[in-house]
Chains A and B, each alone.
Chain A
Amino acid sequence: MILSEKHKHFLQRAAFGPGIADLRNDIDIADLMVGSSGKQSIDIVVRPQSKDVKTDAGQRKELIQAARKQVFALNAAWVHQLVSPDIRAREKLTFFWHDHFACRVRAPFLIQQQNNVLRDHALGDFASLLMSVSKDPAMLQFLNNQQNRKNSPNENFAREVLELFTLGHGYYNESDIRNAARAFTGWSFNVMTGSFDFRERAHDDGMKEFKGKRGTFSGEDIIAIILEDPRTAQFITEKLWDFYVGDPDATIINSLSREFFNSNYNIGQLLDVIFSSEWFYASQYRGNRIKSPVELIAGLMTQTGGTFQNAQSSLYIQRALSQVLFFPPNVGGWPSGTSWIDSSSLAFRLALPALLLRNSETDIDLKDDGDVNNIINEATSKKLDFRVDWELIAHTFSRHNEQETLDALEYYLLARETSKANKRIVQKFAGKGENDTVFFKKAFTAFMSLPEYQLC
C-alpha cells in the first residue's frame, strides 16, 4: 500500500480524503485531477411542461408532497455523487460554487437545473459561470429579479451580484447598485418551463453610469464591466484559496490572482497551479482546516467506502450539523472553520462515526424552524442506516503486526499525526483477539472519534 503525503493531502483538499481504491501506486497529481474531475449531471427531475395547470386544493397538496420527495431525492443523489471517484474533484468544486452562489428555492427542477449549471462550468472560465448563474431561473427567483422592472426596480439581485458574487463590499457604491439594477431589469424566467426569459418591455434601456463608465448598459454589459475589474479575480482567488489552502498568503494570492485574470478567469488552470505548487504541500497547510459538515459526511463515506441506505439518514446528519445541501442559510452561504464548532456540534461530530459504524439510533432531537412548509423539518427516523464492507477493509489492511496496522490506519484516516496518548487510547479501544472485521470496525471508529479527524 503506497500513499504519499502529497497524494494524501491532495485528496484531502481536492476531494474528501483517500478511499480504499486510492491506496495503490503513487500516481501523478495532474493525472489524478483529470481522472477525478469527470462530469455527470443530476437528472432526476423532469422539466415541467408549459401546460394550463389548474389545480384544486387536493391536487395542490399532492404536488407539494411530490415536490418535497423530489428535493429529498436530489439531496441524496448529490451526496451519493460527491464521493464517486471519477468525478469527485469537480463535485467538490461544485459544492464550493454552491456555497459561493448561495441560493435557496423550493422548485425541484430549478434546484437541479442550477446545480448542473454550477457543475458544467465549475472548472471552466468564471466569466461563463457568472453569466450562466446570473441568468439561472433559481437565482433570479431567489433574488427577486422578476420584480425588478423599469420604473419599479428591485435592487436585491444587483446588490448580491456585486457584494457576494464578484467584487465584494467596498469596491462599488450605492449608485452602482442602482444602475446595475436598472440594467438587469427584464431578466426573468418562464415559471412553467424554468427557462431564462428576457422581458423587453420590463427592461430599462436608458443611459446608466456604472463604475465610472456611461452607456445604455444591458445586464450582459454590467457583467462584462465587472469582469474587467481585476478586483473580481482577486475576490474569487481569495475564496478559492480559503477553501483549498488555508490562511492567506498575500504575495502568492496576488500572483495567482493576476494569472487568473490574465487567463480570462480560467478556473481549471488556477487549480492546476495550486495543486502542482510546492507551497500547497507545506506542513502549515496540512491538517489545519476544519471540515464543513458535508465534507465530514463525504469523508466518512469515502474512507470507509460506506453508503447510506436511505435518504433520511444523511439528511438527518446534515440537519444535525446545520448544513443541508440545497439549503444554505441565506445568500451569504455557509460559515466556515471554527464557526462550525460549538460544544454540542463538536460532541455530535466526534460521536458520529460510532453512531454510523454501529448502525445505532441517535437520541438527538433536531430543531424545527417552525415553518410547516419547510421540508427539512420532516421528522426523519433517528435510525442511521449506513453500510460498510468491513471484509474489504480487513483484506486491504492486513493485520499480522497490530502496531503497524494501527499506524497504517492512522496515516490513512487522519490528515495529521495524533498524540501518543491518543494512539494508546485507540489501541485500547480496538482491543485484541477480536476477529478481523470487529477489530477494524473498532479501530476505524476510534481514530475517527479523535479531534484530529475533524481536520483535513
Chain B
Amino acid sequence: MLVSRRKFIKHSLLASSGTLLIPSFLKALEHPATTLAERKVVVIQLSGGNDGLNTVVPYRNDVYYKSRPGIAVSSAQVLKASNELGFNPGLTKLNDLYDRGYLAVLNNVGYPNPDRSHFRSMDIWQSASGSESSLTTGWVGRFLDASCNGCATHRAIELDDTLSLALKGDSMKGMAMKNPEKLYRSVHDTIFNDVVTQNLLNDVEGQSLRYLYKTMAETKSSAELIHQHAIARSSQATYPDTEFSKRLKTIAELIKADLNTRVYYVSLAGFDTHVNQQNQHQRLLETYANGVHAFITDLGSQLMKDVLILTFSEFGRRVTQNGSGGTDHGTANNVFLFSGSLKQKGFINESPDLSSLDEGDLIHRVDFRSVYASILEKWLEVPSQNILKRSFSTLDFI
C-alpha cells in the first residue's frame, strides 16, 4: 500500500527536518497500540533438545530410575510439585512460579514421525510443518502476514542478531535485534542513514531494489520507535547477570513502554547434553528459570495478565541414558506456558508414559501445532488454519 503523494507531502510537512522522506517511515507511527491491553506472546526456545525427563521428573517412576542409574534426579533432590512429578533442583524459581499459579506444564508434546535431527526438527517447530514437508516460512511470520499486512516489521521481534525462520513470513518478516542501542547505532551509521534519508522510494526503480530500500526504511523507522520506547522505560528491576536475562530484560522494558510488538522470540542454547549432563543441564535450567522469574516479577501481576510465555525445545531426549553420562536425541517433550491469565494451571495433562515407548522414545500425545493453534485463536485472536496450513484443535490452557 503506497501512501498517496498528497498524504505523503502533508505528513512530510509535519515531520521535522532530518527525518525520512520515504513514506514507509510513516507505517511505524500509523499503528499505535490498538487497545490498552494488546496481548503479547514471548516465545522462549531452548536449543539443542532439552532433556524433559530430567526437567519435569517422574520421581515415583521405577522405569525412570532403572533407565538412568547415573543421571536421574534423585527423589531427595527433586522439587516435588505433584504426587507424580517434580522439578529439577535447578528450577527453584520455576517452582515458585508454579506455586503462584503462573505456570502450566503440558507433557508429551511432539508430532508424528518425529525427526531427531536438530536442524530438521527445529525447522519443523519453527515453520509448523509436519515432518513430511519443508516450509520456507515460519509460523510467527505467517501470523504477521495474516494479521498485519503492511504494518511495521517490529510487530514481531527476535532478541538476537540474526532472524530465525520462525519470524519469516511470505510477505512480512519480523525483525532481529539484540538491543535497541545497537540497532539504533547500526542504522545511524553514516552511509545507511544518509541513503535512507536522502532517497525517495518513489524514485527507486526495479522490484528488487525497491524491496531493499523499503526494508532499509522499515528498519530505520522501527529502530527509532523502539529506541524511543526503550529509553522511556529502562528497567530498575534486578535481573541475573546472564545474556539470556539481559534479553528478557529488554523485552520487559519494551512491554512496559507499551511498544506495539505482539510477539517476542528469544533462545537459550546448550541443551544438547550427550555427555556428562547433570551439572551442565542443571545450570542451564537455573539460568532459564531465574531469568523467567525476574521477567515475570519485573512485569508484575497486572501486565502478566496480557503476556503469555511459551517455552519449547525441538525434541526431548531418550529415556535410557547413553554410555557417556548423558542422553541422546529423543522425541516428545514438555512445554511450559506462563501467564497471569491461565485457565489451567500446574500439570494440565498426563505424565509421560515410560512403559509404552517407541523404540526407547516417548510417544507424543499432543501435537505442538495445537499449542500454536490455541495461542493464535484464543490469545492473539486470529484464525489459525491458514497460518498452520491445516486445522488443529485448540487446548484449554487459555
Chain B residues numbered 271-292 whose CB sits less than 8 Å from any CB in chain A: 271-272, 274-275
Residues of B within 8 A of A2 (CB): none
Q: How many residues does chain B have at the interface if contact means C-beta atoms less than 8 Å apart?
A: 57
Q: Contact at B49–A343, with CB atoms within 8 Å? A: no
- Shortest A184–chain B CB gap in Å is 19
Residues of B within 8 A of A350 (CB): 191-192, 216
Write the A328-344 contact mask toward B (1 if CB under 8 angstroms, else 0): 01111001011101111
Q: Contact at A329–B208, with CB atoms within 8 Å? A: no
Residues of B within 8 A of A368 (CB): 47, 269-270
Chain A residues numbered 105-163 whose CB sits less than 8 Å from any CB in chain B: none
Residues of B within 8 A of A424 (CB): 198
- Shortest B328–chain A CB gap in Å is 11
Q: Contact at A371–B173, with CB atoms within 8 Å? A: no
Q: Contact at A338–B175, with CB atoms within 8 Å? A: no
Q: A344-B177, A425-B198 are in contact. Are A451 and B206 (CB under 8 A)?
A: no
- Shortest B297–chain A CB gap in Å is 27
Q: A338-B211, A370-B269 are in contact. Are A343 and B191 (CB under 8 A)?
A: no
Q: A339-B136, A342-B215 are in contact. Are A329 and B123 (CB under 8 A)?
A: yes
- Shortest A317–chain B CB gap in Å is 12
Q: Contact at A369–B191, with CB atoms within 8 Å? A: no
Q: Does B194 contact A (CB under 8 A)?
A: yes
- Shortest A177–chain B CB gap in Å is 12
Residues of B within 8 A of A446 (CB): 191
Residue in A342, A421, A422 whose CB lies within 8 Å of B163: A342
Q: How far is the CA of A449 from the CA of B196 in the complex (A)?
A: 12
Chain A residues numbered 58-114 whose CB sits less than 8 Å from any CB in chain B: none
Q: Contact at A342–B161, with CB atoms within 8 Å? A: no
Q: Does B350 contact A (CB under 8 A)?
A: no
Q: How far is the CA of A367 from the CA of B178 in the complex (A)?
A: 12
Stretch of B55-63, B182-190, B227-235, B334-342 contacting A (4+ beta carbons < 8 Å)? B182-190
Q: Contact at B271–A416, with CB atoms within 8 Å? A: no
Which residue of chain B has its CB nearest to the CB of A335? B136
Chain B residues numbered 175-222 whose CB sits less than 8 Å from any CB in chain A: 175-178, 182, 186-187, 189-192, 194-195, 198-199, 203-204, 206-209, 211-213, 215-216, 218-219, 222
Q: How far is the CA of A452 from the CA of B167 in the complex (A)?
A: 26
- Shortest A435–chain B CB gap in Å is 21
Residues of B within 8 A of A329 (CB): 119, 123
Q: How far is the CA of A329 from the CA of B134 in the complex (A)?
A: 10
Q: How far is the CA of A219 from the CA of B215 in the complex (A)?
A: 47
- Shortest B25–chain A CB gap in Å is 14
Q: Does A287 contact B (CB under 8 A)?
A: yes
Q: Contact at A370–B206, with CB atoms within 8 Å? A: no
Q: How far is the CA of A446 from the CA of B194 in the complex (A)?
A: 11
Q: Contact at B198–A288, with CB atoms within 8 Å? A: no
Q: Does A290 contact B (CB under 8 A)?
A: yes
Residue in B209, B271, B272 whose CB lies within 8 Å of A452: B209
Which residue of chain B has its CB nearest to the CB of A349? B212
Residues of B within 8 A of A375 (CB): none
Q: Contact at A288–B118, with CB atoms within 8 Å? A: no
Q: How far is the CA of A351 from the CA of B118 in the complex (A)?
A: 30
Q: A343-B163, A344-B163, A347-B186 are in contact. Are A367 and B267 (CB under 8 A)?
A: yes
- Shortest A299–chain B CB gap in Å is 15
Q: Contact at A330–B120, with CB atoms within 8 Å? A: yes
- Shortest B165–chain A CB gap in Å is 8
Q: A335-B136, A370-B47, A451-B212 are in contact. Are A344 and B123 (CB under 8 A)?
A: no
Residue in A351, A366, A369, A370 whose CB lies within 8 Å of B186: A351
Q: Contact at B272–A366, with CB atoms within 8 Å? A: no
Q: Contact at A369–B47, with CB atoms within 8 Å? A: yes
- Shortest A328–chain B CB gap in Å is 10
Q: How far is the CA of A332 from the CA of B133 in the complex (A)?
A: 10
Residues of A within 8 A of B119 (CB): 329-330, 369, 371, 374
Residues of B within 8 A of A419 (CB): 199, 203-204
Which residue of chain A has its CB nearest to the CB of B187? A347
Residues of A within 8 A of B167 (CB): 342
Chain A residues numbered 344-368 whose CB sits less than 8 Å from any CB in chain B: 344-348, 350-351, 354, 363-368
Residue in B190, B203, B219 whose CB lies within 8 Å of A346: B219
Write the B146-164 contact mask toward A (1 if CB under 8 angstroms, else 0): 0000000100000011111
Residues of B within 8 A of A290 (CB): 208, 211-212
Q: How far is the CA of A320 from the CA of B162 in the complex (A)?
A: 7
Q: How far is the CA of A80 from the CA of B51 in the complex (A)?
A: 41
Q: How far is the CA of A351 from the CA of B216 in the complex (A)?
A: 12
Residues of B within 8 A of A365 (CB): 160-161, 178
On B, residues with C-beta under 8 Å from A are 47-49, 118-120, 122-123, 134, 136, 153, 160-164, 167-168, 173-178, 182, 186-187, 189-192, 194-195, 198-199, 203-204, 206-209, 211-213, 215-216, 218-219, 222, 267, 269-272, 274-275, 314
Enumerate 18 A-B pairs (CB-CB under 8 Å) in ascending A order: A287-B209, A288-B207, A288-B208, A288-B209, A289-B208, A330-B123, A342-B175, A343-B175, A343-B219, A344-B162, A344-B177, A350-B191, A370-B122, A370-B270, A370-B271, A370-B272, A424-B198, A429-B191
Q: Closest 8 CB pairs between A and B?
A: A370-B48, A370-B47, A344-B176, A421-B198, A451-B212, A343-B219, A371-B118, A343-B175
